[in-house]
Chain A
Amino acid sequence: MRGILLLFLLAFPLYAQDANSPGLQLIERLNRMTPAERQKMLNRMPPARRQMLEKRINNFNNIRPEAREKLKKDYEFFQQLPPEKRDDARRTLKQIADLPEERRKLVRGAVHNLRRQPDEIRDRRLASRAFNERFNEDERKLIREALAVLPPQAEPTQQ
């Protein structure tokens, strides 16, 4: 009886993970195929859209393996958020992407760096005068919202 329970416990997260990331699962399935098989699989798509999709999949595949693994983890974390929070997060990320280039780089850089900090240091930085002076109210809100939808990174790196 205990064995059966254990098997369920082991099998369920696998199922749940796949069920939460069908898009990622499909990308991985396309990656396992030969070019001919992939061609057959995508043959119903309009050519321009298919080319774009293939280009984006190739870009994803060209990410360094360790960075890709990190990205997958971020994505799986993101996928586990409730749907309404996920939509909020998409809006936040879109708003960051729509910032003027200079401001966008600064905001993304801040999110990137703050994610690596332990909670206590991160909170102190978010409350600091430097942070308030460097970013306007909207940007500060975007940074806070982005930090809420991303898993913290385990190992803080040397700055």
Chain B
Amino acid sequence: MNCILNTNEQEELLLGYCTAILDPETTRTYKRHLASCEHCRTMVELQKMVDESLGDWLPPTLSENFDQKLFARIRAEQEAPKPWWHFNFGWKPAIPLALAAILLAVFLVREPGKSELAQQQDGIKADEIAEVEKALDDMEALQALSTADTAPAAKESI
């Protein structure tokens, strides 16, 4: 028989043998193998030592009202108000916030700097006057073409 430590079933066989849950035929076969395989004998002995140690281990004793205390503490933690960063808002509320931020940014870009009232206090700037006059020049020139139908010669021109 090949050494069980070289097979896939090594763990099940070893544990099964140590806890005496193998069927009689497998137990006999494994015993025969142990007689000739020192490596497996060592593993069985180590496993037995572990089992014995676990048998000797005693869990710490709990106080009588341990469960009561535990549940009281859990309840207290559940009922205590959570700090805001513990709330799970999800991502959906972020959409209106992002839209509001964009609107604000657009508004600030459209109206940079001072408010209309503040600009009114200061009066119109020279370059702004030039802009107004230029716009009026252009619009007057364009208007002259748009109102040509009022001229008597317009209709016969072409």
With A4-B99, A60-B139, A75-B139 known as contacts, the answer to whether A109 contacts B153 (CB < 8 A) is yes
Option from B119, B140, B144, B153 in Cβ contact (under 8 Å) with A56: B140
Q: Which residues of A contact B147 (CB under 8 A)?
A: 67
Are B124 and A42 within 8 A (Cβ)? yes
For the complex, give the distance between the alpha carbons of A114 and B145 in Å: 11
Q: Which residues of A contact B142 (CB under 8 A)?
A: 71, 74-75, 78, 93, 150
Q: What 0/1 readout, one digit per residue, does chain A (71-83) give for beta carbons within 8 Å of chain B?
A: 1001100110000
State the Cβ distance, B142 to closest chain A Cβ, in Å.
Answer: 5
Option from B103, B132, B148 in Cβ contact (under 8 Å) with A109: B148
Q: Of all chain A residues, which has the CB nearest B105?
A: A11
Between A and B, 17 residue pairs with Cβ closer than 8 Å are A3-B95, A7-B102, A37-B120, A53-B132, A56-B133, A56-B136, A67-B147, A90-B138, A97-B141, A108-B154, A111-B145, A113-B154, A113-B155, A114-B158, A130-B158, A150-B142, A159-B155
Q: Does B98 contact A (CB under 8 A)?
A: yes
Q: Which residues of A contact B132 (CB under 8 A)?
A: 23, 26-27, 30, 53, 57
Are B124 and A107 within 8 A (Cβ)? no
Q: Does B67 contact A (CB under 8 A)?
A: no
Number of A-B contacts (CB under 8 A): 150
Q: Which residues of B contact A85 (CB under 8 A)?
A: none
Q: Which residues of A contact B88 (CB under 8 A)?
A: none
- B interface, size bucket: 35 or more
Chain B interface residues toward A at CB < 8 A: 95, 98-99, 102-103, 106, 109-110, 116, 119-121, 123-124, 128-129, 131-149, 151-158
Q: Which residues of A contact B137 (CB under 8 A)?
A: 90
Q: Which residues of A contact B135 (CB under 8 A)?
A: 21-24, 26-27, 75
Q: Which residues of A contact B144 (CB under 8 A)?
A: 93, 96-97, 108
Option from B131, B151, B156, B158 in Cβ contact (under 8 Å) with A23: B131
Are B146 and A27 within 8 A (Cβ)? no
Are A67 and B124 within 8 A (Cβ)? no
Q: Of all chain A residues, which has the CB nearest B149?
A: A112
Are B136 and A109 within 8 A (Cβ)? no
Q: Of all chain B residues, which has the CB nearest A26?
A: B132
Q: Does A148 contact B (CB under 8 A)?
A: no
For the complex, give the distance between the alpha carbons of A125 and B156 in Å: 13
Q: Of all chain B residues, which has the CB nearest A147?
A: B145
Q: Which residues of A contact B131 (CB under 8 A)?
A: 22-23, 26
